Amino acid sequence: MRVLILAEDFVKDEFLLQPIIQAMMKTVDRAKAKVRVCKDPRFHGTGEALNWKYIEQALRRHQGMVDLFLLCVDRDGNANRQVVLGNLENQAKTVIGTGRAFPAENAGPARILGNPGNLG
């Protein structure tokens, strides 16, 4: 399996996201997955990372070479961010084709044992 992480700014995020996604792949019995962070095109913040024009460019550039595209952005206090990500997921279906996936997710508040009140 070939995984490409689309980060809102790979310079700041690649050394955090790549090992996390690699570890996640191991937990789902995909230890041999090739996990890379997209560097071309480079997104400069959430404005570009959430813009379909830039997402489509990345998907087309890596089309046929990637099985799983992961868009990872910060929530930045935007409670509606998941709606935007869902729309991007739907648009991506027509570009990536069958047998490939494009889940988009945002970092949110930490949850410990499912209860955010346990943070203190």
Would 120 be classed as within a structural domain? no
Would 36 be classed as within a structural domain? yes
pLDDT of residue 12: 86
Q: What is the residue-averaged pLDDT of the chain?
A: 87
Task: Report residue 25 as tokens.
Answer: 């792949």
Tens-place pLDDT, residues 65-117? 999 999 999 877 787 888 999 999 999 999 998 899 999 998 865 444 444 44
Task: Report residue 56 as tokens.
Answer: 């489509």
pLDDT of residue 116: 41
Burial degree of 43 (CB within 10 A; 0-12, 13-18, 19+): buried
pLDDT above 80 (res 43)? yes
In terms of phi and psi (left: phi > 0; alpha: psi -120 to 50; beta: otherwise), the region of 73 is beta
Overall domain count for the chain: 1
Domain assignment of residue 91, given as a range: 2-106
43: nearest Cα among 73, 88, 81: 73
pLDDT of residue 109: 56
